[in-house]
Each structure stands twice: as C-alpha cells, then as structure tokens.
C-alpha cells in the first residue's frame, strides 16, 4: 500500500514536467486504452478469478510463453496478460479476440499509475494468485504483490548473460525476486550455474522452442493459405548444387557473400521490407557480381541465383528447407532469433560477432551447430563445411515442463 501511494504521487508530480515530450504522450495514450476496452477490464468486474497471470515486454518474451498460454486456454483456464511494450499489443489483441471470455489484458501503467483505479494499477486489477514474470521486468510492484497472502511468483526464461560476462554479482533487486519465486526456469545452463552460486535453484528450458516447433509442423497448411508460390520458390533453389538462407538480413550482411559463386542458390529475407532497403540489397549484391531479383506473392517465375523475399511472417518456417542458415543482426545492435533455424533443423548456423545479448546463441552453441563469422573469409569457410546433425526437438520435454509450470 505504501509503495502504491508513493508511486501514484510521484507519477502525478513527474507528469507536470514531462507532459510535452512526444514519447511520453504516446506512452500515456497507450496506457489509457486500458480504461476504454472491454478486454482490459479486470475479471473482478464480472466476479471472476483468473487461473494465471503472465507479464512480458517484447514480442520475443510473448513468444516464449505463447504455447503455455494457448494450452492453458484450451484447457478452459482464465488468463491475465500484462504487457509492457506496445510492440506486442497486436498479438495480445488477436489472442483476446480468439478467447474473449477467458482473457483479460493490461498495458502495464507507468505514466498513468493510479492506486484508486483498477485499470491503472496492476495490484488492484489482477485476480490470479499465480504470476509468471518473463525475463526482466522486475518492477517493485510485482515484488510487493509476491509478498501477498497465497500469491505465487514464478520466473521464466531467466538470463544473467550480461551480468556474467561483466563478472558482476546479482543485483539486490534480482536477488529479492529470486528469493520470493516458487519456481525458476533459466534460459541456459550457464545461467542456472550462475544463480546457484548465489543459492538459487531451478531448471533450464526454453518454451519458445515449442512455439517454433508447432509452426514447423503446421507449415504446409499455413503456406497453402498465405504463401501459394512457396513450392515453386523451393523448387528453383533446389536446382542449385548448394543452397543458403540469410534470415533477418541487413544490408551490412551482404559483403559476407563475396566468395559465394553462382552455383549456390541463396534466399535473402530482409529484416526491413521498405522499398529503399530492398533496392539497397540489390545494389550491394550487384557490387559483388551476384545477380538477384526481388520476389513476392505475385512472383510466378524465378531465374536468379539470389532471391530477395519481400514478404513478412514466413521466415521461421522457411528455415526448415535449409541445412545452412545465416542469421542477421550480428553486425548491428544484436543478432536476431537463432532458435528459429535451430528448431527447424538447420545443422549449420552462423551470425556476426554481436551476440552478447543472445542466450539463443548459447543454446545453439551447446548443440555444436553455431559459428561466429567476422568477415567473408570466415563466412566462406563456414559455408564450405557440411552441416552437422541438427538438433532434434522433443515435444515430450515441453509437455513435462508445461505440467510442472501450469499444471495442465
């Protein structure tokens, strides 16, 4: 109660000085939608109680628990979803529209926090007695909530990679959360070992693997609906002696292809699909002497050895057609999803040197299919090697952890 009162007063005070900043205005609009939408109203309004509450920030964190949430919903459970970032709003609303009677959602209030209104205060809004925090959003309010009677806190996908690499100790706040948690699921074995050195136990599992696996086994049916020229595309690439996919690609990844000849069929799936970025890809490839063409849903004939795919939402499944997969982002802020090619069966995965934030790099390294490349020579050496035996995902392992975590 003291925390909530102080938070409310502090936010009102700060709002007097930052109200004009565009980012603040947009954030407030985002949070205030909680007061207008039926799906954002607490289960308390209908005198109901949720079975579970999940809190997450990014799309990646939501993907981490998506299979757990969907399985709980299929089992008839009521679920509360608390999102921090607007980036994941679309996915949450889509799931609510599918299960409107079983889901309530809350945009976590930071700038609009108000102890007196349930739609603007998590502690007043939530009804579930079990709260799952995915990764990093260790807000003091959650700590206060976890100390309540009969409340259970569970921490999923815990990673301390940056802390480990900098040889730092766990912060006081993280130790407080771990001490109150009734179940810890770590992202990697290294994270579990690190936490154990501070007296905290848990298991290692990555729930996103199940979500990727489900997309893989449903690929054919989905592509018949949303990617009708998929088979012609793959048939074309299979005419080359070797083939390669460059997923979530940035233009600064293109120089890695310098030593790759036209005997290799290459599919490039850019991270950004705006017209300028696609044109920049063609120019960069032209400088290397590689013929390319931009393709989309309307393409019916393929002739170039390098295809640039102008289509969203199909990269994850496409990885299953390639033994060699390069993942972009490693020459920028951070490498993109490595689990997608790993679970889809790529036996040789590579990325650029910026992967210090990626626990997925560690997972793929554990299965001995991961290679860091720094230039075109490293890339050619990696691509010249045969793909190793791919990781074999076991769906039974997911069922075991699902039972342990949500009990159904």
Per-residue pLDDT tens digits for 126-164: 999 999 999 888 888 999 999 999 999 999 999 998 888
Q: Distance between CA atoms of 277 and 191, rounded to whole angstroms?
A: 37
* pLDDT for the residue numbered 24: 80
Domain range 2-11+33-41+49-204, CATH class? alpha beta
Q: Is the separation of the CB atoms in 285 and 216 below 8 Å?
A: no
Share of the chain above pLDDT 90, in %: 82
Q: Do domains 2-11+33-41+49-204 and 222-384 have the same CATH topology?
A: yes
Q: Is the separation of the CB atoms in 348 and 323 below 8 Å?
A: yes
Q: Which residues of 274-306 are buried (b: 16+ CB within 10 A; e: fewer)?
A: eeebbebbbebbeebebebebbeeebeebebbb
List pLDDT tens digits, range 176-223.
Answer: 999 999 999 999 999 999 999 999 999 999 999 999 999 999 999 999
| 222-384 belongs to CATH 1.10.8.60 | no
Could you tell me the residue ranges of all domains in the chain? 2-11+33-41+49-204, 222-384
List pLDDT tens digits, range 50-61.
Answer: 999 999 998 889
Report the mean per-residue pLDDT for the chain: 93
Q: pTM of the prediction?
A: 0.87
């Amino acid at each position: 109660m003291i925390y909530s009162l102080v938070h409310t007063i502090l936010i009102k005070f700060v709002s007097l000085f930052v109200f004009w900043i565009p980012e603040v205005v947009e954030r407030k609009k985002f949070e205030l939608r909680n007061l207008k939408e039926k799906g954002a109203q607490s289960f308390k309004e209908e005198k109901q109680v949720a079975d579970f509450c999940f809190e997450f920030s990014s799309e990646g964190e939501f993907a981490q628990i998506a299979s757990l949430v969907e399985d709980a919903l299929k089992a008839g459970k009521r679920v509360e979803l608390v999102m921090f970032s607007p980036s994941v709003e679309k996915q949450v609303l889509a799931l609510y529209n599918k299960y409107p009677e079983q889901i309530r959602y809350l945009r976590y209030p930071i700038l609009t926090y108000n102890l007196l209104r349930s739609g603007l205060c998590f502690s007043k809004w939530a009804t579930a007695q079990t709260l799952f925090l995915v990764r990093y959003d260790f807000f003091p309010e959650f700590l206060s909530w976890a100390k309540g009677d009969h409340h259970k806190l569970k921490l999923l996908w815990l990673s301390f990679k940056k802390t480990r690499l900098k040889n730092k100790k766990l912060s006081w706040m993280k130790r407080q959360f771990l001490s109150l948690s009734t179940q810890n699921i770590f992202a990697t074995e290294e994270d579990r070992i690190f936490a154990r050195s501070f007296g905290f136990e848990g298991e290692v599992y990555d729930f996103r693997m199940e979500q990727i696996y489900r997309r893989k086994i449903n690929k054919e049916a989905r592509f018949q609906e949303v990617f009708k020229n998929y088979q012609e595309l793959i048939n074309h690439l299979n005419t080359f002696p070797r083939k390669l996919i460059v997923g979530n690609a940035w233009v600064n990844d293109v120089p890695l292809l310098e030593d790759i000849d036209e005997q290799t069929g290459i599919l490039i799936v850019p991270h950004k699909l705006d017209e300028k970025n696609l044109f920049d890809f063609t120019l960069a490839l032209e400088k290397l002497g590689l013929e390319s063409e931009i393709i989309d849903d309307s393409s019916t004939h393929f002739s170039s050895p390098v295809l640039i795919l102008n289509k969203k939402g199909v990269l994850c499944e496409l990885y299953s057609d390639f033994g060699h997969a390069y993942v972009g982002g490693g020459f920028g802020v951070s490498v993109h999803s490595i689990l997608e090619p790993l679970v889809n069966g790529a036996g040789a995965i590579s990325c650029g040197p910026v992967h210090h934030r990626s626990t997925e790099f560690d997972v793929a390294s554990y299965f001995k299919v991961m290679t860091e490349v720094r230039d075109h020579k490293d890339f050619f050496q990696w691509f010249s090697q045969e793909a190793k035996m791919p990781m074999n995902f076991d769906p039974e392992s997911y069922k075991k952890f699902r039972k342990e975590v949500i009990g159904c």
